[in-house]
């Protein structure tokens, strides 16, 4: 019985993610999610008390997945500038491959509970980048700075830099290299392509 309930919940979550990627948060409804999952609307409400409850879980799942992938790309050791570059490139390229979903995760107006999850997501990215910056400061590869503030600014620049291309759905070829260059310069790293 529990396996059936878990499978139903997973189908609902997958359907919600697919709908979010296609229509954005504003285009999502419980009935559309139910149809996508092949279940009755009441079944969705057995698992989630509201649209906000469902999409809070969806945001948590998607955000955790994206942070894990970018963190893995950055690795656990190596030069700070290379690790930051890998993180930013992975984050940005993945966002640009699914612009509607990324726009919903990053900036689309959402309900308060979902917005709170979005802030947790941004802090998770900040924490990973802050650790990389702190390592760079410790090794002398980066100038002294407050890693948390620098990482917060980097995440803000990364998110804001992607909003326009994500909304347009047509990124410029310079989008990702420009974001990398800006963030490296901001933290005192060097952009090897222009050195």
Burial class (CB in 10 A: 0-12, 13-18, 19+), 91: buried
Residue 190 confidence (pLDDT): 72
Cα R_g (the chain), whole angstroms: 19
3 state SS of 188: coil
**Tens digits of per-residue pLDDT, 18-34?**
999 999 998 899 999 99
**Tens digits of per-residue pLDDT, 38-80?**
999 999 999 999 999 999 999 999 999 999 999 999 999 999 9
Among residues of the chain, what percentage have pLDDT more than 70? 97
For 51-194, which CATH superfamily applies?
Answer: Tetracycline Repressor, domain 2 (1.10.357.10)
pTM of the model: 0.90
Say whether pLDDT at 2 is over 50: yes
- What is d(CA 135, CA 93) in angstroms, rounded to the nearest whole number? 25
**Tens digits of per-residue pLDDT, 82-100?**
999 999 999 999 999 999 9
Q: Which residues contact 189 (CB under 8 A, 6 or more apart)?
A: 80, 81, 84, 136, 141, 142
Q: Which residues contact 20 (CB under 8 A, 6 or more apart)?
A: 28, 55, 58, 100, 101, 104
Q: Where are the domains of the chain?
A: 1-48, 51-194
Q: Is residue 179 a contact partner of residue 155, using CB atoms and an 8 Å limit?
A: no
Residue 169 confidence (pLDDT): 79
Residue 151: name the closest of 192, 183, 189, 107 by CA. Answer: 183
Residue 191 confidence (pLDDT): 61
* CATH fold of the domain at 1-48: Arc Repressor Mutant, subunit A (1.10.10)
């Amino acid at each position: 019985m529990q396996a059936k309930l878990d499978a139903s919940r997973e189908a609902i979550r997958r359907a919600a993610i697919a709908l979010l990627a296609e229509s954005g948060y504003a285009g999502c409804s419980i009935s559309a999610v139910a149809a996508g999952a092949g279940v009755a609307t009441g079944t969705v409400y057995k698992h989630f008390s509201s649209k906000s409850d469902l999409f809070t879980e969806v945001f948590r799942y998607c955000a955790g997945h994206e942070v894990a992938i970018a963190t893995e790309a950055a690795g656990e050791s190596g030069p700070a500038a290379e690790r930051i570059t890998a993180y930013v490139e992975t984050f940005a390229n993945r966002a640009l491959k699914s612009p509607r979903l990324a726009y919903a995760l990053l900036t689309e107006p959402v309900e308060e509970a979902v917005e709170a999850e979005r802030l947790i997501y941004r802090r998770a990215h900040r924490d990973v980048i802050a650790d990389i910056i702190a390592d760079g400061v410790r090794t002398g590869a980066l100038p002294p700075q407050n890693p948390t503030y620098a990482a917060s600014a980097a995440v803000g620049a990364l998110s804001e830099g992607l909003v326009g291309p994500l909304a347009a759905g047509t990124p410029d070829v310079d989008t990702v290299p420009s974001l990398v260059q800006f963030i490296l310069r901001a933290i005192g790293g060097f952009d090897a392509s222009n050195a």
